[in-house]
Structure 1
Amino acid sequence: MAVTTNASPPVPASRRTYSFLGPAGTFTEAALAQVPEARGQNWRPVRNVGEALADVVEGRSDAAMIAIENSVDGGVSTAQDALATVPGLRIIGEYLVPVEFVLVGRPGATLEDVSLVAAHPVAYAQCLGWLSNTLPAHAHIPAASNVASALGLIEGDSQADAAIAAPGILEHHDLELLAQGIGDNEHAVTRFVLVSRTVAPPAPTGADKTSLLVELPDDYPGALLEMLEQFATRGINLSLLASRPIGDALGRYRFVVDADGHIEDERMADALLGLRRFSPKVTYLGSYPRADRAIVRYSERYADDVFVEARDWLRGLLSGEPEV
């Protein structure tokens, strides 16, 4: 006997939206492609970091991918400053993208045709050695971005003969590949972070990183050392320590800190409490798995159970229990 039912078909889950520095073909898009949960979802190209983070805060996107650090040029100041001034954000993951550059031209172009090269100033500086050796008589036209340098060739807006861009540009546009691997540093890497609205941190994996912004209480001898001692005395290694001006007066800086470990680690939690007592402003940006998945190593004297035992010992003293 056939059984009829009034049950409605399942409603498909709504698709998530991710903002990234566009258009297609950027290093940021390559970073977002590494996020398993972003595959098959809506990808929203934006023009700058501020727009990407505003998308998250105002609910147009569930998360945004932004560049935070480069192994050649150091920290991305616009991203670090934005995270310091835009409330309600959390870093939920990090991703590494090798910085590789290609030289592209209009269809049919050859390397011998090139005398004028369009490139973003940072990309140009990272390829200057190759350009000087291969095209010693070339001239440079600055471009707003790596993608813009290439699109100018296609759209006829650029007088350049060729452009420096990320390899991904060839997947989206009809351009001639004139040379590849033209970067001067074959080990160059850009670190990206995925940022969402404030959420509880993911569970610790043993291969985690915690990001913070810390201000010093006053400008006095040893203030920075006192801040660093909050980590050193708990056996926590710092993988990044950079200063950025706060902007309200000369000589006032905040410190961008990446510390090995997770907020649920007893040693990290204890360090955060110490920072909170010491600093007038500590901004917790998030604890998340390291991109390289390297297990965080530390001395046994900083293991979680050592901190727990010390607190139990103190509670026993306060309650009048006899010491064993």
Structure 2
Amino acid sequence: MSEPLPTPDTGTAPFTATSRRATAARFAMFWGAPPALWQAAFFLVPLGFLVAMTFWSVKSFRLTPDATLANWTFILNAGFFRNAYVYTFWLSALTAVIASVAAFPAAYTLAYKVSPATRRFMIFMLVVPFFTSYPVRIYSTQIFFSPQGIINTVLAPLGLGPLQVLNTPTGTVVGYLVLTLPLVVLLQTFALANVPRTLIEAAHNLGCGRFRTIGTVIIPSARIGLIVAGTFAFVLAFGDYVAPTYLGGSRPPTLSILIADQVKSGNNWPRASVVAVMMIVTLMVVMLVMIGLAYGRRKERP
């Protein structure tokens, strides 16, 4: 009985795998094209125009396409820009730290100490402030901290106060916290809730107390979410215009106020564009550094 002839290898399996990869690539390109086009049309193109405008000049209060470095030289060498940059960076970093520290007990309670129904209700309540316009919330904060406001009215019979919060850096930080704190609590809650409970139970079984478990297990396991939450607070505060204007009194000015001042004084859009580009570059550097801290590998102990 003769043996059957071997079937020639037609390469069907490799072709099938290649075909699947090509199909997956086309599928990804199809669904990824709309967001990419949106980002290109409403972020990359305006950003390119903004960068180009930094090299323009203003002649007789009119923008003139040019190729000059005078705007960069003026802004980077100006003392008011350096002061505003340091002031804005410092207040934003301070806001990120305060929001992260203040939000952690609330996020820890929501993640581990309340029932699922209570957690859902409290998360909904944290989302509710975003239903209201941010300027409206800032105006309501003015009512609380004004010289004849609610807080000073309550403190007066106790012999305390009056508290001077408006038109100070403290007022600016309060406004930043109004903007960022609910979001930081939400992000921290989601990060802590995703920590495996088995790790926490193992730490308790090994004799770790509550605070040691938080410091050695929970915080390292939720590191990415905690850092991302603080980064969001910094980004939102760094570019905010409303809080330093209506609660901080615009003095000293932040970078966002400086942009408005440059536009108002002689219609100098190119100098304002330089400030805006410096803000964007700063935020990109900060985000890259924080992402590196969040996703970077921890050094293994010997």
Higher Cα radius of gyration: 2
TM class by shorter chain equals under 0.3
Structure 1 length normalisation: TM-score?
0.21
TM-score normalised by structure 2 residue count: 0.22
Indicate the structure whose relative CO is greater, using CA pairs within 8 Å and at least 6 residues apart.
2
Greater helix percent: which structure?
2
